[in-house]
Amino acid sequence: MMQNQKKVALYTGILLLFIGTLAIFMEKNLLGNFFGSNIALGVLYVLLGSVSVYMGTKKECFAYNKAFGIIILLIGIVGLIPKINYPLVKTFGVNLTTSIFHLLIGSISLYTHYTSVK
């Protein structure tokens, strides 16, 4: 089951690297403004994607998926609450679609962590 942990970390990393690279070069026009982003979010995704790809090749990915899942899930939840999401919107240009994406990848990471045998 450790293979599932590695696959999730690796594929999440590749996805974040791809989206981050697009966000850096396309800035606000990512998917026709459907996916909120800016250069800051793109750089953050590239950094997180690099760490995820690296952790996808190591045994420590079990703990990484848990930590990554919790953090990204919380960011997704904060992004859905209008009265407290202003820092995310202002700094990273997130919108509803971005927050749902965070909820999705956070949930997948946590699900994989808790359903896989160490």
Determine what percent of the chain is predicted with pLDDT higher than 70. 90
Does 106 score more than 60 pLDDT? Answer: yes
| Residue, of 61 and 19, whose pLDDT is higher | 19
Q: How many CB atoms lie within 10 A of CB 87?
A: 10
What is d(CA 75, CA 56) in angstroms, rounded to the nearest whole number? 22
How confident is the model at residue 63, as a pLDDT? 84
Per-domain boundaries in the chain = 2-115
Secondary structure (DSSP) of 6-34: HHHHHHHHHHHHHHHHHHHHHGGGTTTTT
Q: Is the pTM of this model over 0.95?
A: no
| Residue, of 82 and 36, whose pLDDT is higher | 82
